[in-house]
Amino acid sequence: MMERPLDLLRDVLDHTIVDADGAPCGTVDDLLLEGGPGQLLKVTALLVGPGPLVRRLPRWLERAAAWIFGRRYARVSWSEVESISATVTLRSPAAKLGLGRWDRKVGRWLARIPGS
Amino acid sequence: MKVAATNQALALLLRIFVSMGAFVEVGALTFSIGAGARFGYSLVWVIVIGTVGIAVYCEISGRIAAVRNEPLFALIRQRDGFRSGLLTLVAVTSANALTCAAQIGAVAMLWQLLSGWPYRLLVLLALIFFILAVWFTPKEWIERVFGLLGLMMIVFVTVAVSLHPRWSQVAATALPNLPPFKTRRDGLLYGYYAIALLGSILLPYKTYFRASAAIEHKRKVSHIVPDRVTWIVGFGLGSLLPVSLLLIGADFFAPRQIEPQLPGGAALATASLFGIAGMLIAVGGMFFAFAGAAIEMALSGAYNVAQFLGWRWGKLGTPRSAARFAVSWIALLCAAALIVLTGLDPARIVECSVILSVVILPFTYFPLVVIGADRRIMGDRASGKLIKALGWLYFMLITLAALAVIPLFILTRVGKG
Amino acid sequence: MNRRGQRYLGIRALIAILALAIAAVVGVIKLAGASADSHELAVIVSVLRSDAAATAVLSDALARGQTGTTFARAQAAQQRRALDTSLRQLISMRVGAPLERGRVQAMEAAGRLDVLLALLERDTLRSSDGDGIAARSREVLSTMLAIERSLPQS
């Protein structure tokens, strides 16, 4: 897919994810790598959600944050990635990949209020 | 062709005036008058330095937005990682919430001066007003209405001039100077006022809000130069307001040995010279300036959080289209109102908000200077030698200020009564 | 994790330096030491003085019809809140005969400025610049009471 080496830390991790419609739907909170010692290490998925984020906090903050925000995450297969530039663009709309659920949920709730 | 050029010129003029009207919020107002009442003209140079500083940082943030079309906090997270970015985010958001609280408290106080209604009720009404205003008003109109009507604050310039200041002395104090101090405590208090005044002009929400607004309005690289003109002219003119307030402090309040700590004092000076009409214009101008600031702070906080976490964001669409963003600015306004409703003395809230902002200033401006100069991110639009030098110079200045402010606050605390 | 990690360490170091520096600055200034007590009185006098002056400006503006009565009343209320705070500080200081906290608080709760005034007059408090604080507070309190009485009751 990529012609030159991809710097995962600089160009993928913590970047905003944009879906096929161009709307932001999360950030790359972690990467799922598969492989083992002596084997080829492959990036298989992006992990999006509070779960991986909470794990990256210092130990003393982690438990409280996990209690508040939960440990769930969405797994976006690497094959869903269309292109990587300033943002990580995906092939499908967010809903299909289980991303941006809360934006949609809160959006439905807000829709009851006039003027939204 | 001519129409387009005239339109562009008008648009530029509009943006300049909006920058002017939005320059002063309650912290800058309180400390400007206080500085004048306490130390006469001698702190004018701090206003000059602060104005140049905020212009420099707004230039950097505007340029980053125009070149990258990526939000600042997304860039911060990409460059510095989740943990450091989170630290900056928490710092900036807490300062936003506290300064927003100061504005809401001040607005409630202004309404109380006009209506005599109970303060806490007015705080709730102010909260409802802000939520409704931001919810139903299109973004451009919020900026225009509050920014332009905030220009009523020009009445303070009129008052300052009518007091016949000694202009040659004012000009002399535009350069850094140190007046003779009677006691050591006076010296410490001077330092405290200087730092607080500087901090109140350098409030971070101005830079972060403008960067997000620039992306929403799709400012391009071609806009960098006209935007620079906007900052320089708008802020230059806007700085006349804190200078005028300082002159009012020095020429009206100091001779009467009054140190006003609430916005009503500023209106009192106007009333004394121009009667009820002057007082109403002053109160009106302050309301729109503070209200505009409160709205920008809440939106800025929401922008930052949403951009950091990859949520949909933006005020141009409907609230439904950026749901978590909408909830964020509402939550920030509510949190700010709650802080005021605890019954803390509004003057203390104003003071603490400025102090907290000063302490976190280095954290908020460090990413700006670094990203602005990073060639990997900015390409050949990275900060030139002058901006880089100024950026780092001001960073050193605000770091020193951040270190000194809390000790000075503690030591001069007895001086607050 | 070198580039990102280094930058992260840089931020940590920045925080540590800031914390140490704050501690150092506080320590130095504390050692140089200014005693707070003798200044507190002078400061409270200046607060009372400024409130008296502000009240005078307010009543003057009111008399000349330059400010509406709602404005004046609200201003006076805000000033009185600030004044109450400094009076409370004044009374809780142990200068001369100490006043019992409980009695004072009960008086304040009842809003009895005139009673506070009488209490103050019993103690001859002197500030570092020689002003009689009781005299100063009497002047302030009388002006405040007068302005409140002169406002039309609604």
Three-state SS string across chain B, please? CHHHHHHHHHHHHHHHHHHHHCCCCHHHHHHHHHHHHHHHHHHHHHHHHHHHHHHHHHHHHHHHHHHHCCCHHHHHHHHHHHHHHHHHHHHHHHHHHHHHHHHHHHHHHHHHHHHCCCHHHHHHHHHHHHHHHHHHCCHHHHHHHHHHHHHHHHHHHHHHHHCCCCHHHHHHHCCCCCCCCCCHHHHHHHHHHHHHHHHHHCCCHHHHHHHHHHHHCCCCHHHHHHHHHHHHHHHHHHCHHHHHHHHHHHHHHHHHCCCCCCHHHHHHHHHHHHHHHHHHHHHHHHHHHHHHHHHHHHHHHHHHHHHHHCCCCCCCCCHHHHHHHHHHHHHHHHHHHHHHHCCCCHHHHHHHHHHHHHHHHHHHHHHHHHHHHCHHHHHHHCCCHHHHHHHHHHHHHHHHHHHHHHHHHHHHHHHHC
Radius of gyration of chain A (CA): 16
Do strands A74-77 and A24-27 pair parallel, antiparallel, or not at all (unpaired)? unpaired
**Residue A70 region, left (φ>0) first, then alpha (ψ -120 to 50), else beta?**
left
**Has residue B88 got a pLDDT over 50?**
yes
- Asked if the structure places residue B366 within a domain, the reply is yes
**Has residue C129 got a pLDDT over 70?**
no
Touching subunits for chain A (3+ Cβ pairs under 8 A): B, C
- Asked if the structure places residue B5 within a domain, the reply is no
pLDDT at residue C145 in the model: 60
**Has residue B96 got a pLDDT over 60?**
yes
pLDDT (tens digit per residue) in B246-255: 999 999 999 9
**Has residue B244 got a pLDDT over 70?**
yes
pLDDT band at C150 (very low <50, low <70, confident <90, very high): low
Residues C28 and C62 in one domain: no
Residue C51 C-alpha, separation from nearest chain B C-alpha, in angstroms: 7
Residues C12 and C87 in one domain: no
- Asked if the structure places residue B227 within a domain, the reply is yes
Q: State how far the Cα of B380 lies from the Cα of B247, in Å rounded to an integer.
A: 44
Q: How far is CA B96 from CA B93, B294, B300, C41, in A?
A: 5, 9, 8, 36
**Domain boundaries of chain A, sorted by first residue:** 8-110
Whether B275 and C65 lie within 8 Å, measured CB to CB: yes
pLDDT (tens digit per residue) in B50-60: 999 999 999 99
Whether A107 and B82 lie within 8 Å, measured CB to CB: no
pLDDT at residue C8 in the model: 53
Name the token pair of C130.
Answer: 């020689």
pLDDT band at B139 (very low <50, low <70, confident <90, very high): confident
Whether A27 and B326 lie within 8 Å, measured CB to CB: no
Residues C56 and C131 in one domain: yes
Q: State how far the Cα of B295 lies from the Cα of B22, in Å rounded to an integer.
A: 11
Residue A17 corresponds to which amino acid? I
Give residues with Cβ within 8 angstroms of C98, minimum separation 6.
none
pLDDT (tens digit per residue) in B300-357: 999 999 999 999 998 888 888 888 999 999 999 999 999 999 888 888 899 999 999 9
**Has residue C34 got a pLDDT over 50?**
no
pLDDT at residue C85 in the model: 67
Q: In what side-by-side order are the strands of the sheet with A30-34? A: A30-34, A42-48, A74-77
Whether C89 and B417 lie within 8 Å, measured CB to CB: yes
* Secondary structure in 3-state letters for C30-97: HHHCCCCHHHHHHHHHHHHHHHHHHHHHHHHHHHCCCCCHHHHHHHHHHHHHHHHHHHHHHHHCCCCC
Indicate the residue of A53, A87, A103 with minimum beta-carbon distance to B323.
A103
Residues C29 and C44 in one domain: no
Show residues of chain C in contact with A10, CB under 8 Å. Answer: 3-4
pLDDT (tens digit per residue) in C55-113: 788 888 888 888 888 888 888 888 777 776 666 666 555 333 344 454 555 544 445 55
Name the token pair of A20.
Answer: 């096929």
The DSSP element (H or E) to which C124 belongs, if any, is none
Q: State how far the Cα of B58 lies from the Cα of B71, in Å rounded to an integer.
A: 14
Residue with tokens 């604080």: C133
pLDDT at residue C147 in the model: 58
pLDDT band at B161 (very low <50, low <70, confident <90, very high): very high
Name the token pair of B364.
Answer: 């908020």
Interface test with A, best of C2, C4, C15 (most A CBs within 10 A): C4
pLDDT band at B183 (very low <50, low <70, confident <90, very high): confident
Whether B313 and A104 lie within 8 Å, measured CB to CB: no
The DSSP element (H or E) to which A16 belongs, if any, is strand A16-18
**Has residue B234 got a pLDDT over 80?**
yes
Indicate the residue of B310, B313, B319 with minimum beta-carbon distance to A17.
B310
Chain C residue with minimum CA distance to B410: C26
- Asked if the structure places residue B13 within a domain, the reply is no
Interface test with B, best of A16, A62, A109 (most B CBs within 10 A): A16
Phi, psi of A31 (to 5 degrees): -120, 140
Residues C52 and C107 in one domain: yes
pLDDT at residue C153 in the model: 46
Whether C1 and A9 lie within 8 Å, measured CB to CB: yes
pLDDT at residue B416 in the model: 43
pLDDT band at C135 (very low <50, low <70, confident <90, very high): low
More confident residue, B401 or C134: B401
pLDDT at residue C32 in the model: 45
Phi, psi of A88 (to 5 degrees): -95, 110
pLDDT at residue C125 in the model: 46
Show residues of chain C in contact with B402, CB under 8 Å. Answer: 18
Name the token pair of B235.
Answer: 């802020």
Q: State how far the Cα of B149 lies from the Cα of B282, in Å rounded to an integer.
A: 11
Q: How far is CA B12 from CA B7, B19, B116, B226, B227, in A?
A: 9, 11, 40, 8, 8
- Say how many residues make up chain A: 116
**Has residue B73 got a pLDDT over 90?**
yes
Q: Which CATH topology does A8-110 take?
A: SH3 type barrels. (2.30.30)
What's the number of domains chain B is made of?
1
pLDDT (tens digit per residue) in C136-145: 566 666 665 6
- Are C144 and C79 in contact, with CB atoms under 8 Å apart? yes
pLDDT (tens digit per residue) in B113-127: 999 899 999 999 999
pLDDT (tens digit per residue) in A14-65: 999 999 988 899 999 999 999 888 899 889 999 999 999 999 888 888 888 8
pLDDT at residue C27 in the model: 62
- Asked if the structure places residue B311 within a domain, the reply is yes
DSSP assignment letter at A78: G
* Average confidence (pLDDT) over A85-103: 88
Q: Smallest Cα–Cα separation from B196: which of B341, B49, B19, B351?
A: B351
Range with the poorest average pLDDT among A25-39, B84-98, B257-271, C115-129: C115-129
More confident residue, B164 or B139: B164
Range with the poorest average pLDDT among B204-218, C3-17, C24-38: C24-38
Q: Is A108 on the interface with C (CB under 8 A)?
A: no
**Has residue B132 got a pLDDT over 90?**
yes
Name the token pair of B43.
Answer: 């702190």
* Average confidence (pLDDT) over B147-171: 93
- The overall average pLDDT reported for chain C is 61
Chain A residue with minimum CA distance to C1: A9
Chain C residue with minimum CA distance to B408: C26
Q: How far is CA B84 from CA A56, B51, B403, C66, in A?
A: 11, 28, 20, 54
Count of CB atoms within 10 A of residue C23's CB? 11
Count of CB atoms within 10 A of residue B355's CB? 22
pLDDT at residue C117 in the model: 57
Interface test with B, best of A21, A99, A103, A104 (most B CBs within 10 A): A103
Phi, psi of B355 (to 5 degrees): -60, -45
Show residues of chain A in contact with B310, CB under 8 Å. Answer: 16-17, 24-27, 48
Q: Is A56 on the interface with B (CB under 8 A)?
A: yes
Q: State how far the Cα of B45 lies from the Cα of C152, in Å rounded to an integer.
A: 45
Show residues of chain A in contact with B141, CB under 8 Å. Answer: none
End-to-end CA distance of chain A: 41
Residue B67 C-alpha, separation from nearest chain A C-alpha, in angstroms: 12
- Domain, as residue range, for C83: 37-150
Helices C113-122, C133-150: inter-axial angle, 10-degree rounding? 160
Determine the longest span between alpha carbons in chain B, in angstroms: 65
The DSSP element (H or E) to which A83 belongs, if any, is strand A81-84
The DSSP element (H or E) to which A45 belongs, if any, is strand A42-48
pLDDT at residue C17 in the model: 66
- Asked if the structure places residue B8 within a domain, the reply is no
pLDDT band at C154 (very low <50, low <70, confident <90, very high): very low
Residues C71 and C146 in one domain: yes
**Residue A30 region, left (φ>0) first, then alpha (ψ -120 to 50), else beta?**
beta
pLDDT band at B193 (very low <50, low <70, confident <90, very high): very high
Mapped onto helix, strand or coil, the DSSP state of residue A46 is strand
Touching subunits for chain C (3+ Cβ pairs under 8 A): A, B
Q: How far is CA B157 from CA B103, B165, B190, in A?
A: 21, 11, 24
Show residues of chain A in contact with B326, CB under 8 Å. Answer: 106, 110, 116
pLDDT at residue C87 in the model: 65
Count of CB atoms within 10 A of residue B187's CB? 14
Residue C146 corresponds to which amino acid? A
pLDDT band at B101 (very low <50, low <70, confident <90, very high): very high
pLDDT at residue C124 in the model: 44
C-contacting residues in A 6-25 (Cβ below 8 Å): 9-10
Whether B185 and C39 lie within 8 Å, measured CB to CB: yes
* Average confidence (pLDDT) over B275-286: 93
B–C interface: beta-carbon pairs under 8 A: 115
- Are C45 and B259 in contact, with CB atoms under 8 Å apart? no
Name the token pair of A73.
Answer: 């995450």
pLDDT (tens digit per residue) in B384-401: 899 999 999 999 999 999
Whether B135 and A87 lie within 8 Å, measured CB to CB: no
Residues C83 and C131 in one domain: yes
Q: Smallest Cα–Cα separation from C140: which of C65, C46, C62, C66?
A: C46
- Domain, as residue range, for B269: 23-416
- Asked if the structure places residue B59 within a domain, the reply is yes
Q: The CATH number of the domain where B165 resides is what?
A: 1.20.1740.10
- Are B398 and B202 in contact, with CB atoms under 8 Å apart? yes
- The overall average pLDDT reported for chain B is 90
**Is the Cα torsion angle B262, B267, B268, B273 positive or negative in sign?**
positive
What's the number of domains chain C is made of?
2
